Every structure is written in C-alpha cells, then in structure tokens.
C-alpha cells in the first residue's frame, strides 16, 4: 500500500528566509499523524507545500504516490483541508459557501453537509460575515470534510473552538479515521496531538527533530517538579539519575525529571515538604530542555 | 465657436481631446466626447484586471480556492472569461446608447467612423485589463485596487496629452490612449496599423504573463 504522504528532503526557502530544511517523513494510510512545533517552526510551510499552495525549493512531496505539485488537482479530489485561519468571500451565506465548495467535487454532498452542520451546531442560513471566529472555524471544518476525503489535513484545528466543540470535533475526526481516512494535523499543543495521534513528528527551526510513536513519547516524557521543603536540604539531595536542570534556591528545588518515578518518590518521602507540584512541561520546555539538551549530551 | 477654437492654447486642447479638425460636425464633436468614455472605460477595465486575482489574496480565499480540485490555469481562465464578459457587456450597453444618438445627428455615412471610434473603447479596455490582470496575478497582495487603476490610467492619459502637445511621435507608443487616435480615425477612416498591432501584442502578452505568473505563484499565508 502506498504511503498517504511521503516527503523526501523537502526544503523551502522564502528568498533567504528559512521555511523548512530537509524534511523527510512518511505517513501510513489510515494513520493519525501529528505535526507539532512552536510558532514559526515550519508547520504551515510544510502543509502549504503538501497542498501545492507554495512550491518546494528542493526535495519532493507525494500524496497517494502522486506528485504534490504536478498532480495537485488530482490530489485535491481526495484531500480535505482545514486552514488555521479561515477566510471566506464577503456576503455569502454558510449554505452558499458549502454548496460552492461541494460544486468542485463530482459527488452529491447535500446529506453530508446537513449531517456535519447538525453535529457542529452550525446554522446554514447565517451570513459568514456575522459569524464569530469559532463558528467560522466550524464552516471550515464542514467545508474540509463534506466530500469524505481520504486524507484530512488540519492546520491548528482547535484554535478558537470551545472545549465542548473541540470534543465534538475530535469525535468527528476519529470517526473519519475509522472510516479509513488518514489524518495529518499540525498543532502547538502537545496534549491534543497526544490524545488523537498515533505518531508525532516534532519540527523545530525548520528541521524535523524527532519522529516518535505517541506511546513512546509518553514514556520518555519529562515532568517538571517544584518542591519547597520545610527544612534546608543538601543542594544535591535531588541530584539522582534522570534529573535535569536542577535549580536550588534556599528551600525550593526545581528540576525536570524523566525516568522511574519511584526514585523521586523515595527522595520525596525522605524529605519534609512544605509544598510540592509536578506538572507536564509545556511544549516550549520540551524543546528547550529535552531536545536541545539531548543534542548537547550526545 | 471657431474663434474659441483658434484662441485655445494647444496644450489645453490636447488635454481636453479637442483634436478634431471639424469640431462642429456630429462625429467630430463625438470624437471629442469619446475620450471621456475611453477614460472611464479604461479605469473600469484596469480595476477589473487589478482586482480579479489579487482579491483572492487580500480576502484570504486563495487557500480555499486553490486547494480545490481544479488546476490554476482553469481558475485563471474562468476569471478571464468572467472579466471579458463584463467588458463585453459594458461595450454592448455603450453602443446601444451612443450609436442611435450620434446617428440621429449625423448622416449614415458616418457609421464607419462611429464604429471605429466606439471599437476603440473595447480595444483600450482590453489593453488596460490585460495590464492589470498580469500585475494582479504576479503581485503578492494589492491592498487597495483603485489607486493602481486610477494611477495607471491617468498617467497614460497625461502622457497622451503630452505626446500631442510635444508632437513627439515616439511618445505615442507609451500610452494606449494614442493607439486609436480619434484624429487619425476622423482623417483617414482607419486605425494606424502599427498601433493596432502593438495593441494586440500587448493584450496577448499581458494575458500570457498572467498565466505564467499565476501558475508559478506562491500563495503565502496571510
């Protein structure tokens, strides 16, 4: 079975400005693939190259074994795209826009539009100009899914949606995936990618730094500990295996930890605590501490 | 009236488009009026050209349209045909109004002159449209279209007046307003071949350039 998406040394420069450099990855058909990185890392550049909105400086990108640039219209029949920010024509009603969108695909999408709009609680008779950002996003979602695409490309899909709608949206995407659709989504929120995706590619400064199964990522994920003790402890009290970025400031000890959680638990048990918190580091921290750190130590 | 004609400074006559020898005849007077129809028509056409592709960029709808299963060439062809329809409609209306009006004052022998004068509106519109179309397809984004179309048309118009007053023949190549000179039509009952050919070449170049630019265009996010 051919890959749903396949890129080979995909590189894009905007003049001299870096877009993406040597991005190589494959997405299996039927997979849910996450693409995460901080703003400006190259997520949208990659997606826009896949969609042939921009053209690569070098390297190749293929979708369903078709060349993204040469066969763009052929590919587009099977791809649904939800842009990060949705913009639509002035003065159009939601229904007009969706019908217009459907008219590009040679199939009847009427029932599907009604079903999707019903689930997203989207009023088809409203003017798009009058919609809130979140509701415009819903138009984008229906628009991207109305032709039952084989590949769904989502660029920061949940921004602007309230948590309830996010849940409905995730259910919808999971349902599409069960139907057989491949999902490629970009995000800067690790949580939502972890929740949906099978594998994740992490992009930073235009380069792919890591491609991991979500299950593996979870195992290797760091926790950030903030500890305040009642009595001073030796500065190296928490300097056990797996601890990184240890900062001791009087009674407070801050560090990142990865490894067997029991070693820290044992240490904690031996100390008299005043306050304590352990949290998931945000994505920025993972980049700052984990990936750059790993590059240094190796 | 004829006294007024002789004492008017040539520059003013040029700007107003009073080049006709026989200002008192119906077609002569009309040839003067046509200039203003040309001016307005050119602005309309340039506006169409500048807006038709760039609007998708400024509205941000290019992402929507260009990820649909149609080739960029087909999108541009659809846009081109839509604009040509508007230009054609403008000309139909213009002719329906002006031809009966002028013929009610002139003898029927004036029909050919009238046809040539009126057709110059269509040709001029095509030139300005093609120029705008090419720029529109090439530009990253045009925030406001009107300054561009007004700028282009008025610059050409001013250059045309300058070409008349300075009697510099080479200048006439630079401004489409000189390609279908009413003066020449009135005197010879025909267009000047070199300029008619030039006009056709410019229109073809503009449209061809638009296709080349648009197919290669990078659609950056807003």
Q: What's the mean pLDDT in B180-205?
A: 92
Q: What's the mean pLDDT in B114-129?
A: 95
Secondary structure (3-state) at A32: strand
Residue A286 lies in a domain: no
Residue A244 lies in a domain: yes
Is some CB atom of chain A closer than 8 A to the CB atom of B222? Answer: yes
Residue B167 lies in a domain: yes
Which of the 8 DSSP states describes residue B109?
Answer: G
Structure tokens at B118: 């009126």
Structure tokens at B140: 């990253």
Interface test with A, best of B60, B67, B70, B220 (most A CBs within 10 A): B67
Residues A121, A249 share a domain: no
What range defines the domain where residue B168 resides? 24-216
No. of helices (H) and no. of strands (E), chain B: 9, 0
Helix (H) or strand (E) run with residue B216 in it: helix B193-216
Q: Which residues of B touch A73 (CB under 8 A)?
A: 69-71
**What total number of domains does chain B contain?**
1
Residue A290 lies in a domain: no
Residue B222 lies in a domain: no
Percent of chain A scoring above 90 in pLDDT: 52
Residue A45 lies in a domain: yes
Structure tokens at B12: 């003013």
What does the alpha-carbon distance between residue A105 and residue A78 come to, in Å, rounded to a whole number? Answer: 9
Is some CB atom of chain B closer than 8 A to the CB atom of A85? Answer: yes
Residues A234, A105 share a domain: no
User: How far off is chain A from B138, nearest CA to CA, in Å?
Assistant: 14
Residue B163 lies in a domain: yes
Q: Which of A205, A220, A235 is the last residue of a domain?
A: A220
Residue B40 lies in a domain: yes
Residues A187, A206 share a domain: yes
Residues A250, A139 share a domain: no
Residues A92, A135 share a domain: yes
ipTM: 0.81
Residues A68, A26 share a domain: yes
**What total number of domains does chain A contain?**
3
The CATH number that applies at residue A271 is 3.30.70
Q: Between A87, A104, A105, which is nearest B61 by CB?
A: A87
Residue A168 lies in a domain: no
Is some CB atom of chain B closer than 8 A to the CB atom of A197? Answer: no
Residues A60, A155 share a domain: yes
Is some CB atom of chain B closer than 8 A to the CB atom of A143? Answer: yes
Q: What's the mean pLDDT in B127-149?
A: 93
Residue B190 lies in a domain: yes
What range defines the domain where residue A258 resides? 222-279
Averaged pLDDT score across all residues of chain A: 88
Q: What's the mean pLDDT in A18-34?
A: 95
Backbone φ and ψ for A213, nearest 5 degrees, come out as -70, 145
pLDDT 10s digits, B42-99: 999 999 999 999 999 988 899 999 999 999 999 999 999 999 999 999 999 999 999 9
The CATH number that applies at residue A61 is 3.40.50.300
What does the alpha-carbon distance between residue B139 and residue B35 come to, in Å, rounded to a whole number? Answer: 30
The per-residue pLDDT for A61 is 96
Is some CB atom of chain B closer than 8 A to the CB atom of A100? Answer: no
Residue A21 lies in a domain: yes
The per-residue pLDDT for A5 is 96
Q: What's the mean pLDDT in A224-242?
A: 87
Residue A65 lies in a domain: yes
């Amino acid at each position: 079975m051919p890959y749903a998406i396949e890129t080979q040394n995909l590189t894009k420069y905007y003049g001299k400005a870096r877009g993406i450099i040597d991005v190589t990855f494959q997405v299996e058909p039927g997979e849910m693939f996450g693409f995460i990185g901080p703003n400006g890392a190259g997520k949208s550049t990659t997606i826009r190259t896949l969609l042939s909105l921009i053209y690569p400086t070098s390297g190749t990108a293929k979708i369903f074994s078709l060349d993204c640039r040469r066969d763009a219209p052929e590919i587009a029949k099977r791809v649904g795209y939800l842009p990060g920010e949705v913009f639509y024509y002035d003065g159009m009603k939601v229904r007009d826009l969706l019908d217009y969108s459907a008219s590009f695909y040679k199939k009847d999408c009427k029932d599907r539009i009604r079903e999707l709009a019903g689930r997203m609680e989207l009023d088809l008779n409203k003017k798009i100009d009058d919609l809130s950002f979140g509701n415009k996003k819903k138009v984008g979602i229906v628009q991207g899914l109305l032709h039952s695409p084989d590949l769904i490309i989502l660029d920061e899909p949940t921004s602007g949606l309230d948590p309830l709608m996010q849940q409905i949206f995730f259910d919808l995407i999971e349902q599409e995936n069960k139907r057989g659709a491949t999902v490629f989504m970009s995000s800067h929120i690790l949580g939502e990618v972890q929740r949906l995706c099978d594998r994740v590619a992490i992009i930073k400064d235009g380069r792919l730094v890591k491609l991991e199964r979500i299950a593996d990522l979870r195992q290797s994920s760091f926790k950030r500990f903030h500890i305040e003790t009642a009595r001073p402890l030796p500065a190296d009290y928490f300097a056990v295996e797996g601890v990184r970025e240890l900062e001791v400031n009087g009674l407070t000890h801050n560090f990142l930890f990865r490894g067997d959680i029991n070693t820290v638990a044992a240490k904690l048990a031996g100390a008299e605590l005043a306050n304590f918190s352990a949290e998931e580091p945000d994505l920025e921290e993972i980049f700052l501490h984990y990936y750059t750190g790993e590059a240094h130590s190796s | 009236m004829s006294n007024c004609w002789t004492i008017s400074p040539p520059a003013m006559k040029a700007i107003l488009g009073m080049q006709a020898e026989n200002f008192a005849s119906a077609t002569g007077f009309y040839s003067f009026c046509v200039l203003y129809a040309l001016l307005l028509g050119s602005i309309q056409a340039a506006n169409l050209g500048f807006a038709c592709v760039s609007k998708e960029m400024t509205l941000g709808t290019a992402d929507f349209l260009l990820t649909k299963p149609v080739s960029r060439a087909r999108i541009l062809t659809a846009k081109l045909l839509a604009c040509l329809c508007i230009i054609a409609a403008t000309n139909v209306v213009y002719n329906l109004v002006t031809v009966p009006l002028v013929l009610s004052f002139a003898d029927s022998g004036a029909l050919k002159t009238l046809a040539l004068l009126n057709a110059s509106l269509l040709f001029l519109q095509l030139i300005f449209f093609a120029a705008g179309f090419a720029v529109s397809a090439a530009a990253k984004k045009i925030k406001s279209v009107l300054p561009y179309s007004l700028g282009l048309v008025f610059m050409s118009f001013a250059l045309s007046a300058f070409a008349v007053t300075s009697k510099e023949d080479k200048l006439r190549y630079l401004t489409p307003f000189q390609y279908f000179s009413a003066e020449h039509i009135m005197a010879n009952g025909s267009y000047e071949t070199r300029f008619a050919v030039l006009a056709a070449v410019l229109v073809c170049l503009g449209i061809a350039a638009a296709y080349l630019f648009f197919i290669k265009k990078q659609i950056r996010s807003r």
